[in-house]
C-alpha cells in the first residue's frame, strides 16, 4: 500500500486520496497484481537475479507491457534489482537522490521491495510517496522529483520506456526540504 507523506508530516495511505493529492502533477498511481504464479513469487523473493531470471520475471508480467505498448507506445522494458549487496549501490542511487527531471516519463512497476519518490508540487511544497509491491507509477516528463530507497534498501521494479535517450536525469538545483522520517 502506497504511503504519501506531506511536507507538514501528515501521512495518507488511501490510494484514491493519494491520487487526488498527486493530480496536479499528472502522476498516475495504480495497483497491478503480479498474480499467483508460484515460480514468479520464488524469483521475487530472491535478493539478486541473473539475466535469465530477470527475463523470466519480465515475461511473466508482460501483459502489462503489452497494454502499455498499445495504449502509450512503450517499446522497451527491463528489470532493475537493487539490494544491499548490489555493487556500488550508493553510487547508483546518488544519480537520483537530488531533484531532477527527465525528458521522458519515468514509469515503474514495483514488484518487490519499495522505494520513495519525492515530488515538487506546483505550489513549491514537496511530498514523498513510498511505492510498494504491485504498485505502478508514471511520473510525467518534466516533473521535478527525486528517488531513494527505504531503510530496507531493496527494490525490484520493471522500468518501461518509449525510448532510452530521454531517461537521463537533468538536475534542477531545487533543494529537498526534508526527507520523510519513516517509510
Asked whether residue 102 is marked as a ligand-binding residue, the answer is yes
Give the three cell numbers for residue 157: 521494479
Nearest to 82 by CA among 110, 117, 119, 40: 110
Report the distance separating Cα 89 and Cα 83, nearest Å. 8
Query: In angstroms, rounded to a whole number, what is the distance separating the alpha carbons of residues 34 and 32?
Result: 6
H or E element: which one contains 22? Answer: helix 15-22
> CB of 84 within 8 A of CB of 153?
yes
Residue 83, annotated as binding a ligand: no
**Which residue in 108, 110, 133, 132 sits closest to 27, CA to CA?**
108
- Per DSSP, the residues of 139-167 read E-TT--EEEEE-TT--EEEEEEES-STT-
Q: Record the cell numbers describing residue 54, joined without a space.
A: 530477470
- Please say whether the dihedral angle defined by the alpha carbons of residues 80, 84, 89 and 90, taken in this order, is positive or negative: positive
> Annotated binding site for Fe(2+): which residue ranges?
100, 102, 106, 145
> Annotated binding site for Ni(2+): which residue ranges?
100, 102, 106, 145
> Annotated binding site: which residue ranges?
100, 102, 106, 145
Amino acid at each position: 500500500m502506497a504511503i504519501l507523506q506531506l511536507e507538514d508530516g501528515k501521512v495518507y495511505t488511501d490510494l484514491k486520496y493519494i491520487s487526488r493529492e498527486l493530480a496536479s502533477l499528472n502522476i498516475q498511481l495504480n495497483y497491478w497484481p503480479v498474480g499467483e504464479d508460484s515460480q514468479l513469487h520464488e524469483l521475487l523473493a530472491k535478493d539478486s537475479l541473473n539475466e535469465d531470471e530477470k527475463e523470466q520475471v519480465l515475461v511473466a508480467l508482460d501483459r502489462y507491457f503489452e497494454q502499455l505498448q498499445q495504449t502509450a507506445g512503450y517499446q522497451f522494458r527491463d528489470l532493475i534489482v537493487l539490494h544491499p549487496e548490489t555493487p556500488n549501490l550508493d553510487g547508483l542511487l546518488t544519480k537520483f537522490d537530488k531533484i531532477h527531471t527527465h525528458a521522458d516519463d519515468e514509469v515503474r512497476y514495483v514488484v518487490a521491495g519499495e522505494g520513495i519518490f519525492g515530488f515538487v508540487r506546483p505550489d513549491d511544497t514537496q511530498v514523498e510517496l513510498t511505492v510498494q509491491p504491485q504498485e505502478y507509477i508514471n511520473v510525467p516528463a518534466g516533473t521535478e522529483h527525486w528517488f531513494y530507497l527505504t531503510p530496507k534498501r531493496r527494490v525490484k521494479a520493471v522500468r518501461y520506456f518509449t525510448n532510452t535517450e530521454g531517461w537521463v536525469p537533468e538536475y534542477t538545483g531545487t533543494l529537498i526540504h526534508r526527507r520523510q522520517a519513516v517509510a
